[in-house]
Amino acid sequence: MIAIIKYNAGNVQSVQYALERIGVASVVTDDAMLIQRADKVIFPGVGHAHAAMRYLRERGLDKLIISLQQPVLGICLGLQLMCRHSEEGDTSCLGIFDENVILFPTSGKMKLKIPQIGWNNIYDYKSVLFNGLSENAFVYTVHSYFAAEGKETIATTDYILPYSAALEKDNFYAVQFHPEKSGRVGESILKNFINIP
Amino acid sequence: MNDGPANTETLLNTHLGAGVHGLTKRIIPCLDIKDGRTVKGINFEDIRDAGDPVELAILYSGKGADELVFLDITATIEKRKTLVELVKRIAANINIPFTVGGGISTVEDVGVLLKNGADKVSVNTAAFKHPALIEQLSNEFGSQCVVLAIDTKKEQDGEWYVYLDGGRTKTEMKTTEWAGSAVALGAGEILLTSMNNDGTKNGFALDITATLSNTLPVPVIASGGAGSMAHFKEVFESGNADAALAASIFHYKEIEITDLKNYLSEQGIRVRL
């Protein structure tokens, strides 16, 4: 069984539908026992880092997530919360990944539109998550903050500057984009995650 | 690792001009919905039936549509349940993002639509009448899911004005002014429909699209007037639009999305193929 962590952040339903489309049953829950016993855990999220972390801490979900031994996949805000610190609301996060999360630059020569909304590509794959994908595959992404590149980066995207499109450390995986909304490419990534032994 | 803003600046400077990577221009078919069926108004009138929304949605996503917009043109309280059911079916069946709009006026409406799988909502008349709605939605759900739709018309004085109620009610508000305030309140994207161009198939309104796109810090979706593939190229280049929306030319297969994206790519415009 796949557990999708239920908390005060959006897109949970979309993740569950995406799993259904690839024939995988899942349960949306904040029950510690169910999450601990799940074969795999998905930590989704669209929302505000500070509000989300407060919610997780109040329910002890922060400690639970860090302690998980099975493969865990963070999505979007999930990735950001798995990092060390987020500039959004000056928030201390879970610290699973070493990277920090910062806002896209809003000044300078190249004016960026924020949030980044739409399809961009991922490259420099270094993980089983991207098995079978051709280089520069397109994924759907919506965010204003990003994790810088570091030693845990397993795929890169450029939005003027290169940032971590995905991170991996031990049993923890995370993607900044939305595999549940990224067409066939997203389905492949979800399947690859589900197939991790 | 302790990457702060200073490091970002360095990265930014060393990475200008990377052409292979980056955000693509988006092609967005729009499905007008009435009683659970797809319709398209020509100049907001003369409605014709063009099929089942979910079937069309699956078809378009298979052909490479980058996202979809569903506008419920008969959104009333009684119809709201039908819309929520439709949103559920769409979310369960397609694997690309979609926006739902039409008669949305409360935070509760939006909460229900997002919870059932919509990625974004578009607000129009209600947001104009109560701009605080934009702020509430942005605070509650994040600006990334708040699309401000503006119906605009260029008047004799050469200025673009905001129209409400599906284009039936004129206001004295200039489009640039309203768009600017809405973004300041938290709108994450602007869906701009030119009433002068809509239904004409003579091309998008390039001037107002470029004005908004070049001055606002959020993406602009151009809508109204698409008649040929060259019109899309124009609105991405001269209009600097981030996305282009069209309805009837896709519904009646005058332009196939696959062909359009291949054409744009050949013309040097970055699209998802």
- What is the four-CA torsion angle of A21, A13, B29, B44, rounded to 10 degrees? 140
* pLDDT the model gives residue A184: 95
Question: What ipTM score was computed for the predicted complex, to two decimals?
Answer: 0.90
Going by C-beta distance under 8 Å and a sequence separation of 6 or more, which residues neighbour residue B198? B43, B44, B223, B224, B225
Asked if A89 is an interface residue toward chain B (Cβ–Cβ < 8 A), one would say no
Contact A140 B12 (CB under 8 A): no
Q: Is residue B6 pLDDT above 50, yes or no?
A: no
Among this protein's residues, is A20 annotated catalytic? no
Among this protein's residues, is A93 annotated catalytic? no
* pLDDT the model gives residue B34: 83
* pLDDT the model gives residue B8: 42
Burial of A155 (0-12, 13-18, 19+ CB in 10 A): buried
pLDDT tens track for B118-162 = 999 999 999 999 999 999 999 888 888 999 999 999 999 999 999
Q: Is the dihedral of CA A164, A145, A100, A172 positive or negative?
A: negative
Nearest CB among A98, A114, A119 relative to B66 is that of A119
Q: Which residue has the higher pLDDT, A76 or B47?
A: A76
Tell me which of A80, A124, A161 to substitute to probe the interface with B (most B C-beta atoms closer than 10 Å).
Answer: A161
Joined tokens for residue B238: 């001269």
Q: How confident is the model at residue A1 (pLDDT cuts 50, 70, 90)?
A: very high
Q: How confident is the model at residue B15 (pLDDT cuts 50, 70, 90)?
A: very low
- Per the structure, the count of domains in chain A is 1
Joined tokens for residue A102: 């910062």
Going by C-beta distance under 8 Å and a sequence separation of 6 or more, which residues neighbour residue A7? A30, A45, A52, A55, A56, A59, A61
Tell me which of A119, A120, A124, A143 to substitute to probe the interface with B (most B C-beta atoms closer than 10 Å).
Answer: A119
End-to-end CA distance of chain A: 13
Contact B1 A144 (CB under 8 A): no
Asked if B243 is an interface residue toward chain A (Cβ–Cβ < 8 A), one would say yes
Can you spell out the DSSP letters for B248-270?
A: HHHHTTSS-HHHHHHHHHHTT--
Which residues 207-236 on chain B approach chain A with CB closer than 8 angstroms? 216-219
Q: Is residue B46 pLDDT above 60, yes or no?
A: no
**3-class secondary structure, A139:** strand
Average pLDDT over residues A73-77: 96
Q: Which domains does chain B have, with CATH numbers?
A: 24-266 (3.20.20.70)
- At residue B231, φ and ψ (nearest 5 deg) are -65, -35
Task: Identify the CATH number of the domain in which residue A137 sits.
Answer: 3.40.50.880
Domain that residue A180 falls in: 2-194
